Amino acid sequence: METDAGRKLRGVLLQVSYDGSAFHGWARQEGARTVEETLSGAVLAVDPRAGPIRGTSRTDAGVHAEGQLAAFDAELEIPARGWALGLNQHLPEDVAVRAARSVPVGFAPRFASRGKRYRYRVLVDPVRDPHWRARAWRVPQLDLAAVAREAEAARGKHDFASFRAMGDERATTVRTLTRVDIERENDPRIVAIVVEGDAFLYRMVRILAGTIVDVGRGRLPAGAVARALLALDRRTAGTTAPAHGLVLEHVYVDLPEGTGEPWPP
């Protein structure tokens, strides 16, 4: 695509993975280390005339990602594999570009997203485990049957006003969760709350996970999720689960046809 200034630009889409432990979230902030700023620095190191990064999900401080998407417009003509390899040479150990592909100039993955999948990990263990300290929320005990019942209540289309944090000023709080599942992982102490939906409110997954866990550890009575959905009041839901247990696993995005390289499913 030729711009008014005569520059030929090319759109690039990245799948980005990061350990959020040492980041103040995705979005650029003055005086703070963020994923967006770190990734932008790598892009500009490869192509000094590249445009700004367009991310998909503004993950909070401490939240991890395996499938974050980000796009930008570049002047250099570099194949997809070259972008992935080249950017990773300029990125620190806690961030990596897992895949890249060509997209139209100006492509914004946020507006092409049709849903996201998150995974919240809980370590059920009375004794702390340093190996999971930055990847799972430890609780001493958990009633799995109770947890499963609360998860079931959250599935479907509901008004999730009770499950958003202060600062979220979106007028519409109705969202559809197509999946709220409880899974055991390879480590039998790890219980994962897998949440998939069309869109999410600010800290919605963490508040939902915290409410489910609060019932499972006896801090809230059974039926807490259903009651909070009806109340439309944040005070009726449970704890906001700690950020370090959450990972953005996948963004489902409608890609333009005919843009070449295959893309991870």
Q: Do 79 and 165 share a structural domain?
A: no
From 87, 107, 127, the end of a domain falls on: 107
What is the CATH number for 162?
3.30.70.660
Residues in Cβ contact with 114 at an 8 Å cutoff, skipping those fewer than 6 apart: 198, 252, 253, 254
Residue 163 lies in a domain: yes
Spatial distance between the Cα atoms of 108 and 104, rounded to a whole number of angstroms: 9
Residue 258 lies in a domain: no
Q: Do 243 and 144 share a structural domain?
A: yes
Residue 38 lies in a domain: yes
> What range defines the domain where residue 15 resides?
10-107
Q: Do 241 and 125 share a structural domain?
A: yes
Residue 211 lies in a domain: yes
- Report the sign of the C-alpha dihedral through residues 250, 245, 71, 264, in that order: negative
Q: Do 133 and 235 share a structural domain?
A: yes
* pTM for the structure as a whole: 0.93
From 107, 126, 156, the end of a domain falls on: 107
Q: Do 139 and 91 share a structural domain?
A: no
What is the CATH number for 100?
3.30.70.580
Residues 247, 64: contact at Cβ < 8 Å?
A: yes
Q: Do 142 and 40 share a structural domain?
A: no
Q: Do 101 and 185 share a structural domain?
A: no
Annotated catalytic residues are 60
The tokens for 88 are 């990773």
Spatial distance between the Cα atoms of 58 and 25, rounded to a whole number of angstroms: 7
Q: b/e map of 204-241 (b: 16 or more CB within 10 Å)?
A: bbbbbbbbbbbbbbeebebebbebbbeeeebebbbbbb
State the pLDDT at residue 170: 86
Q: Do 149 and 101 share a structural domain?
A: no
Task: Tell me whether strands 174-184 and 95-103 are parallel, antiparallel or unpaired.
Answer: unpaired
Residue 58 lies in a domain: yes
Q: Do 162 and 91 share a structural domain?
A: no
Q: Do 152 and 74 share a structural domain?
A: no
From 59, 76, 107, the end of a domain falls on: 107
3-class secondary structure for the chain? CECCCCCECEEEEEEEEECHHHCCCCCCCCCCCCHHHHHHHHHHHHCCCCCCCEECCCCCCCCEEEEEEEEEEECCCCCHHHHHHHHHCCCCCCEEEEEEEEECCCCCHHHHEEEEEEEEEEEECCCCCHHHCCCCEEECCCCHHHHHHHHHHHCEEEECHHHCCCCCCCCCCEEEEEEEEEEECCCCCEEEEEEEECCCCCCHHHHHHHHHHHHHCCCCCCCHHHHHHHHCCHHHCCCCCCHHHEEEEEEEECCCCCCCCCCCC
Residue 209 lies in a domain: yes
Q: Do 202 and 91 share a structural domain?
A: no
State the pLDDT at residue 262: 60
Domain count, the chain: 2
State the pLDDT at residue 171: 86
Residue 5 lies in a domain: no
Task: Tell me whether strands 64-74 and 246-253 are parallel, antiparallel or unpaired.
Answer: parallel
Please list the pLDDT of the chain residue by residue as tens digits (265 residues).
554 455 789 999 999 999 999 999 999 999 999 999 999 999 999 999 999 999 999 999 999 999 999 999 999 999 999 999 999 999 999 999 999 999 999 999 999 999 999 999 999 999 999 999 999 999 999 999 999 999 999 999 999 999 999 888 888 999 999 999 999 999 999 999 999 999 999 999 999 999 999 999 999 999 999 999 999 999 999 999 999 999 999 999 988 765 555 666 5
Q: Do 33 and 68 share a structural domain?
A: yes
Residue 265 lies in a domain: no
